[in-house]
Amino acid sequence: MLKQLRSVHALQMASRPLSTERLYDGNFLLTLLCQTCFVIAHSLMAHYARWVEFLGGNLTQVGWVMGSGAAVSLIARPW
C-alpha cells in the first residue's frame, strides 16, 4: 500500500511543471544580511567589556551601556 502511494505521488510530482520562481530573491538577501549582522553583533558582545576597559572605562560603565541598550531595544521594538 505504501509503495503504491509513493509511486502515485512520484507520478503526480513528475507531471507538474518546474517552477520558474527564483530561489534567491530580495527577501532572501535581506534575511541573509540581517542574520549576518545579528551574528556579528552577538559575537562582539562577548568582547565588549574588554574593549571598554581598554578605552579606559570600568565594569560599571559597561553595565550601564549594556543595560541602556537592552532598555532601548525593548522600547524601540516593533510589535
Q: What is the pLDDT of residue 39?
A: 94
Q: Which domain holds residue 57?
A: 21-76
Determine the pLDDT at residue 37.
94
Task: Provide the pLDDT confidence category of residue 5 given band limits of 50, 70 and 90.
Answer: low
Residue 2 maps to a domain: no
pTM of the model: 0.48
Residue 1 lies in a domain: no
* Residue 30 scores a pLDDT above 90: yes
In degrees to the nearest 10, what's the CA dihedral of 50, 51, 57, 59? -30
Integer Cα distance of 2 and 14 in angstroms: 18
How far apart, in whole angstroms, are the C-alpha atoms of residue 66 and residue 40? 16
Number of independent structural domains in the chain: 1
